[in-house]
Amino acid sequence: MNDRIIFENVSKFYGEVLGVNRVSLSIPPGVTTLVGPNGSGKTTLMNLMTGLVQPSSGRVSALGMTPGDADKFFRQVGYCTQFDSFPRGLTSWQFLIDGLLLHGMSKADAIRLAGEALERVHLGDAASRKIDAYSKGMRQKIRLAQAIAHHPRVLVLDEPLNGLDPMARAESLSLFEELSRQGMHLVISSHILDEVDRISDRVILITGGYIVAEGNIHQVRREVRDKPMQVLIRCDQPEQLASRMFSVNHCAEARLHSDGKGVFLRTGDIDEFYRLLNEIAIEGLVKIEAVAPADDDTQAIYQYLIGSDGSPS
């Protein structure tokens, strides 16, 4: 069975307004993060993925199923919308049970799965309270619970970390990691890039309705050749290391770490850079303690490819 979410040359226009244009993607299991400025088309992409909007052209499928076959499709897909909205007057227990009954579960299964989902998001104690009386974070959690309650294989989460306190955010991220390890698809849009970065297997950068880049974040960073890569090297003699690198390599920039025990170096040729760094380490002139890329995270890629104004750079 096809285990991917596939977009085949998908475009979506709302009248004359562009939602997304000519998107082709093949998303494998794991955590995929959608990153882009407000209005870039992230939610449209998620709505297309979950069949809530129909593409103007192209085709979308998840695990080989299309949203046209709603019964099978929604059994495998769970969607947590970004809207802080619920049918009025329900307790979280009723909300989950009714959702599961809409999925076609029997009453007994619905009760079991609702209880399980509430426990997973740590809302078991508040199950009998009306959602209207919940805090923003609790409402976010209950949306997540309804998305996972029916055991979908594809989980689409639109801004799932918004409104959560640091502890709840950590719990949610840990839940996402656990689900992805079990072979689930998680497609997440979020503005909290540093936290999402920790669990993402791949990133899709989108702006103005166009996909700017997609793939493993390190691979994407390496493809951005016009921006020299920045590497942090922790060592005992950062000044000497910087001067040595400048003398033999195409280093574009060197900046001492604020504690004086490291140096940030920018290079246009990362392979050559690492080869020289190995030589320096072998020579023993500088004692190198750690080497870490300093700008191959989502935040940096976002800055390089999309920039602060939201337009592709």
Partner 1 sequence: MSVYKHEYRAYTGRLTPLWARVGVVVRYALAEAWSSKITAVLFTLAMLPAIVDLVGIYLANNPLARALIMRGNTAFDINAGFFLKVLATQSWFTLVLAAWIAPRLVAFDLSDNALPILLSHPISRFGYVVGKLAALFSCLSLATWVPCLLLFIYQGYSSAQPWMRANLRIGAGLVTGSLVWIALLSILGLAISSWVKWRVVATGVIFAAVFVPAGVGGIVTGVLRTKWGFLLNMPAMMTQLWQRLLGAPQVMRDDRQLPTAAIAAVLVSICLVSVAMLNARIRARDEVRG
- Note the residues at the interface with partner 1 (CB under 8 A): 14-17, 29-31, 47, 50-53, 70-71, 73-79, 81, 83, 85-89, 98-99, 101-106, 109, 113, 143, 146, 150-153, 179-184, 201, 216
List phi, psi (to 5°) of 68: -60, -35
- The helices-and-strands tally (H runs, E runs) of the chain is 11, 13
Distance (Å) of CA 10 to CA 22, 57, 249, 301: 5, 6, 44, 24
Give the separation between CA 276 and CA 95, rounded to whole angstroms.
Answer: 60
Question: Rounded to the nearest whole angstrom, what is the least distance from the CB of residue 253 to partner 1 in the complex?
Answer: 30
Question: Rounded to the nearest whole angstrom, what is the least distance from the CB of residue 19 to partner 1 in the complex?
Answer: 9
Q: Are strands 202-207 and 30-35 parallel, antiparallel or unpaired?
A: parallel
Which of 9, 219 has the CB closer to partner 1?
219
Whether residue 163 contacts residue 57, with contact meaning beta carbons closer than 8 Å, is answered with: no
Which of 131, 286 has the CB closer to partner 1?
131
Which of 101, 288 has the CB closer to partner 1?
101
Which of 64, 183 has the CB closer to partner 1?
183
The residue among 28, 21, 15 whose CA lies nearest residue 48 is 21
Give the separation between CA 73 and CA 88, rounded to whole angstroms.
Answer: 26
Residue with tokens 């750690």: 290
Q: Say which amino acid occupies 127.
A: A
Question: Rounded to the nearest whole angstrom, what is the least distance from the CB of residue 255 to partner 1 in the complex?
Answer: 31
Which of 90, 288 has the CB closer to partner 1?
90
Question: Rounded to the nearest whole angstrom, what is the least distance from the CB of residue 146 to partner 1 in the complex?
Answer: 7
Residues shown for the chain: 313
Whether residue 63 contacts residue 2, with contact meaning beta carbons closer than 8 Å, is answered with: yes
Question: Rounded to the nearest whole angstrom, what is the least distance from the CB of residue 85 to partner 1 in the complex?
Answer: 4
Question: Rounded to the nearest whole angstrom, what is the least distance from the CB of residue 213 to partner 1 in the complex?
Answer: 18
Which of 242, 297 has the CB closer to partner 1?
297
